[in-house]
Amino acid sequence: MRSTAFVWRWRRNPLRRRTDVIEAWAGVVAVVLMLLVGPAVGWITGSLAHEALQEAVQVQHRHRHLVSATAVRSVSGGSDGTDHESSAGREGYRRVLAHWRGRDGRQHSGLVAVRQAARPGERFPLWTDDRGEVAGRPMDGATAGVHAALAGLGSAAAAAGLLEGVRRLFVWRLVQRRFARWDRAWHRAGHTWGRADAGS
């Protein structure tokens, strides 16, 4: 039905209005812009995001270090804020009090989250920053690539949605003007409706 209406706007016939042709052209222009602008915006956004994320990956790998920590005891209760960027809030993780030696050689201790319960004296790997504080696992290149691709796809979809929104707004304004012309025509016709000499 929609395709029939679209074709009807292009065919020459006495019922076709100028606004019908404009509406059809608006649809064509919107589709062409979606096919050209959408992928371009997605590619640019994805490329910029990929470059920024790869730089973040390099920085994280340069400033985060894997050390060996020793569990002291298990801890139950809420976070005291010492294990930022850790996974303590995720299901399946346990909180333990642990000691570890930072990259600078100093001893550190604090609450950390481990995937499995660690017995006292048991050693486990722990990511720390340059100061020896607990840090999250650094992002890898593959994850950065996935995030960049998602950013590109999202921006391409957003650009296409914006163009479709502009087209719909343009068509809505076109229809409003069409209705206004009809109202004026009916108003003029109302003064002569039913008169024998009005030619109606």
pLDDT range class, residue 139, cuts 50, 70, 90:
very high
Digit-coded pLDDT (tens) for 25-73: 888 899 999 999 999 999 999 999 999 999 999 999 999 999 989 888 8
> pTM for the full model?
0.64
Q: How confident is the model at residue 146 (pLDDT cuts 50, 70, 90)?
A: very high
- Give the mean pLDDT of the chain: 80
Please say if the pLDDT value at position 2 is more than 60: no
CA atoms in the 13 A half-sphere facing the CB of 156: 17
90-113: average pLDDT: 82
pLDDT tens, position by position, 61-93: 999 999 989 888 887 754 444 444 444 445 567
